[in-house]
Chain A
Amino acid sequence: MTEPVRSAALKKALAEEADELPREFAARVAELAEARDETRRFSWSDAALFGAFVVMIGVCVAGWFAFGPQEADANAWLDLSLRDLPVPPWLVVGIVGLGVVQLLTFRRRVRGQS
């Protein structure tokens, strides 16, 4: 099928019709987009920070149990029942998941900018 002929008359007629976007539309949208972007970035950095915090606590607890003094007296200040608690699986899954999400997000951003 051949291409339809472009109509100068139609172009002229349609071009005469001005758009009804406000004059400051571009500035307003850019401002809004950047504000939303900031919020999104904050939420990601908050999540990353929280993840790092959880990992840090996990490492400290694990280190305590692995290398801390084994005498019961030394741990008297610590509730002994706490030592018997195994690390809940959901915590491990959560931490690993968070790490994977962060890694994927980072890769996606890097790829998007390259």
Chain B
Amino acid sequence: MSCAQEADEHARVRAVLDRKAGAFESLVRDYQKLCWHIVFRIVRDPDDARDLCQETFLRVHRQLHQFRFECPLKAWIGRIAYSIALRHLERRRAMPLTQLDEESEEAVELLAVESCELERLFDAQVAERLRAAVDALPAVPRALVTLYHLDEMSIGEIATVTGMSEGTIKSHLFRARASMGAWLRRRGVSGS
């Protein structure tokens, strides 16, 4: 993070702590998409995701005075969203969090996806199926894929958000990608 960005974050946080009008609303507006990406990818229920996003920002507001600028603000907010969503899911115990199912495991073993394959697939107008392939992943890899590919967070920032090691995150991302490739192939989507 550059010095200018850091100074900007300090100013924003200070403005919220000083209760300047509109400061917190502006912060929410800037990070609500990120929060949605994390929460919705994990819980997959729009109503729950809306409630959990609200809960996330209420906690951000309550705990902002504890933010020590040791990581970017977006990673700190992301961590809160991630832990709230994960706890919600664990309470429900509805679906596996990290384990790929048998079908996906098999696919990972069978397929080594070339780095350009997904781009090739996109050219074939399969965005919808690509999203479905992401949805077919377990909750945690799904969130990791979203943070890495959509929000373009660095592996280090994702590590801050999730509390996982960088190696584990990379491993999840490689496996998720392989799994998605296999999923798409099984459904007859091919770039060739």
Residues of A bordering B, CB below 8 Å? 1-17, 19-22, 25-30, 32-34, 36-37, 108-109, 111-113
Contacts and interface: CB of A to CB of B under 8 A. Distances in A.
Contacts of A112: 17, 64-66
A24 to B, nearest CB: 10
A10 B130 CA distance: 7
B131 A1 contact: no
B148 A6 contact: yes
The interface size bin for chain B is 35 or more
30 contacts: A3-B170, A4-B177, A6-B152, A8-B122, A9-B122, A10-B122, A10-B149, A12-B127, A13-B127, A13-B130, A14-B134, A15-B150, A19-B32, A20-B46, A21-B50, A21-B53, A25-B50, A25-B53, A25-B54, A26-B26, A26-B29, A28-B54, A30-B25, A33-B61, A34-B24, A36-B61, A37-B19, A108-B65, A112-B65, A113-B18
Contacts, number: 119
Interface stretch (B70-78, B89-97, B102-110, B113-121): B113-121
A57 to B, nearest CB: 33
B136 interface: no
B61 A37 contact: yes
B118 A10 contact: yes
Interface secondary structure of B, over-half rule: helix
Given A21-B53, A109-B65, A11 B119 contact: no
B65 A113 contact: yes
B50 A14 contact: no
A98 B107 CA distance: 62
A22 B50 CA distance: 9
B58 A29 contact: yes
